[in-house]
Amino acid sequence: MDRILITSAIPYINGIKHLGNLVGSQLPADLFARYMRCRGHEVMFICATDEHGTPAELAAAKAGKQVEEFCTEMHEVQAEIAKGFRLSFDNFGRSSSPQNHVLTQHFAGKLAENGFIREVVEEQVYSPTDGRFLPDRYIEGTCPNCGYDSARGDQCDNCTKQLDPTDLINPYSTESGATDLEVRETKHLHLRQSALKDDLDAWINSKHDWPVLTTSIAKKWLHDGDGLQDRGITRDLDWGVPVKKGTEDWPGMEGKVFYVWFDAPIEYIAATKELTDANGEDDAAWKRWWRLDEGAEDVKYFQFMGKDNVPFHTLSFPATIKGSGEPWKLVDYIKSFNYLNYDGGQFSTSRGRGVFMDQALELLPADYWRWWLLSNAPESSDSEFTWENFQAGVNKDLADVLGNFVSRVTKFCRSKFGEEVPAGGEYTAEEAELIASLTTRIRAYEGHMSAMEVRKSAQELRAIWVAGNEYLQTTAPWSAFKTDPDRAAAITRLSLNLIRLYSVLSAPFIPDASAKMLAAMKTENADWPGDVAEFLAALPAGHAFEVPEVLFAKISDEDREAWQERFAGTRD
């Protein structure tokens, strides 16, 4: 039995994520976690909300709430949606947790001790009216280039020219409208990633089995231009982890907090501690996952994320870990994903384009989305969501191939033999052939699942479903029944056992339907198939079952058209 640590990139607290976000990290991570549990491994599957930073403060203000209150509510919303999609996190934590405060401050302290922190004095725009420093994009003014009067401090939306806030003519705060802005000096901490560059480079180069997407992004950041740059890890904000050197105050850094990208990945560790704390366990319980000197030596650590998160996970977070000089667990494998596009364009949170997680669950059960998204996961390149493809894929794979198989077998049996596994008849060469073919396919499926080859896994699983229909078509028990009822009974007995096989194999993809299939077969035995012939004999003659409700209703053309229309524009 292996010990498998899995983390999914943590979604930002501000708003509900769209299907592109889901398929880029949480969903494939869940697939892998479920599979590893099915295979009997000890799994720790961690996710959380990323709660700090200006966008959260502003969203809270807009909602007329305190930021803590806002985050608590939004965390609850995201946690509920995650449950709706059957994301099987062992803990869905919060980056604002006390555990993360302590750990983040601890790492910063160690980095400072080891000389990887540099204090830098910068000039930033301060608004006396707002009582705070303003991030570039919360300052607007007239563009010096094109004269557009609502150019942002980082870029002009009209002429696309990149700007500094000080370039703007008649700048004002977008928060208060205040125009009495001034430039003030402020001190910040920078993480000396440049000093760790060679170490990180060697580490990345040793990862020969990582996806090209992952390593190519990391290498670009390492070698592009002047190479890996130091990065500011603090901000002049209220909402965040207060800057401390371990448990000590940090002179000159009063009133400042760590920047989100510094504390967010540390939350992976903190969320594990949140879990064990909640369970009343001691520190050894979480350290055995994260500390090489306290039991994590044999842990295999997998991270899942979209490509936009790769730099933080290949460079920034490892720099934090390595720079600490302490034996923390480093990631063993980074599975990264491209983007899922929506109907010819991008999904967009800010513009509300596409289907969002809460809306998706209003339309259809989780299994529909899980199956389609995973079987079309953007692994090797960006991929595309269209309503036509979604409808066709779901109807064909889930309703016609899998759902209908369950229907035809259980209903045939009920009408000819009653609602129990029929006795009589012998297995022939046809059964031997089916079992041989299934064995090959199941072993291939296991290989793809272990390798996190999501699309290939889905393809193989589908082929296994098809094999059942093929078998029925060839053996035609409805014909055999007329001349040789015993033969028909043998075929039906095997086919009923196939339903249990499909339940077990499909569980990581479509957990709800899987549970329904197992329940219909009136068994709780969901052990993974080793010897297939043996597995298919587990439900013996005389074992009762029931005909389940239709597993997957089809998506009608009317529904599809209505949804297409509804989601054509922006989110209401």
Binding-site residues for ATP: 349
536 vs 551, beta carbon nearer RNA: 551
Residue number, 159 or 562, with CB nearest to RNA: 159
Report the binding-site residues for Zn(2+): 143, 146, 156, 159
Q: For RNA, give the closer residue by CB, 323 or 477.
A: 477
Residue 16 contacts residue 81 (beta carbons within 8 Å): yes
User: C-alpha angle with apex 350: 138 to 271, nearest 5 degrees?
Assistant: 90
The smaller minimum CB distance to RNA, of residues 268 and 412, is found at 412
Nearer to RNA, 554 or 560 (CB): 554
CB-nearer residue toward RNA: 114 or 437: 437
Q: In the bound complex, what is the minimum distance in angstroms from residue 415's beta carbon to RNA?
A: 6
Compare residues 439 and 459 and give the one whose CB is closer to RNA.
Answer: 459
Bridge partner residues of 12 (DSSP): 50
Please state the three-class secondary structure of 81-121 as a single string: HHHHCCCCCCEEEECCCHHHHHHHHHHHHHHHHCCCEEEEE
What's the token pair of residue 321? Answer: 């870990």
Q: Please tell me the distance from the alpha carbon of residue 333 to that of residue 354, in angstroms, as a whole number.
A: 30
Cβ neighbors of 380 (< 8 A, separation 6 or more) are: 338
Q: In one letter, which amino acid is 507?
A: A
Considering the complex, what minimum distance in angstroms separates the CB of residue 386 from RNA? 6
Residues belonging to the binding site are: 143, 146, 156, 159, 349
Nearer to RNA, 139 or 269 (CB): 139
CB of 42 to RNA, least distance (A): 31
* Contacting residues for 448 by C-beta, under 8 A, at least 6 apart: 456, 457, 460
Q: How far is the CB of 321 from RNA (least distance, A)?
A: 24
- Residues of this chain that interact with RNA (CB under 7 A) are 160, 162, 212, 216, 220, 224, 346, 376, 378-384, 386, 388-389, 392-393, 396-397, 399-401, 403-404, 406-409, 411-412, 415, 455-456, 459, 466, 469-470, 472-474, 476, 478-479, 550-554
CB of 7 to RNA, least distance (A): 23
3-state secondary structure of 450: helix
**H-type helices in 403-483, by residue range?**
404-417, 429-450, 454-475, 477-483
Contacts of residue 146, Cβ cutoff 8 Å, sequence gap at least 6: 156, 158, 159, 161
Closest approach, Cβ 30 to RNA, in A, equals 21
Name, in order, each residue with C-beta under 8 angstroms of 228's C-beta and a sequence gap of 6 or more.
193, 194, 196, 197, 200, 221, 222, 315
Nearest CA-CA partner of 89 in 285, 304, 351:
304
Query: Letter for the amino acid at 294?
Result: E
Closer Cβ to RNA, 290 or 412, answer by number: 412
CB of 376 to RNA, least distance (A): 5
- Calpha distance 240→230 (Å, rounded): 21
Calpha distance 383→462 (Å, rounded): 20
Give the torsion sign (CA, 237, 240, 244, 247).
positive
- Output the smallest distance, CB 226 to RNA, in A: 11
Smallest distance, RNA to C-beta of residue 517, A: 10
Nearer to RNA, 318 or 378 (CB): 378
C-alpha 265/C-alpha 8 separation (Å) is: 10
Phi, psi angles (nearest 5°) of residue 292: -65, -30
Return phi, psi of residue 406, to 5°: -60, -45
> Smallest distance, Å, CB 223 to RNA?
10
Six-digit token pair at 299?
A: 């842990």
User: Is the torsion defined by CA of 418, 421, 423, 424 positive or negative?
Assistant: positive
The CA distance from 204 to 452, in Å, is 19
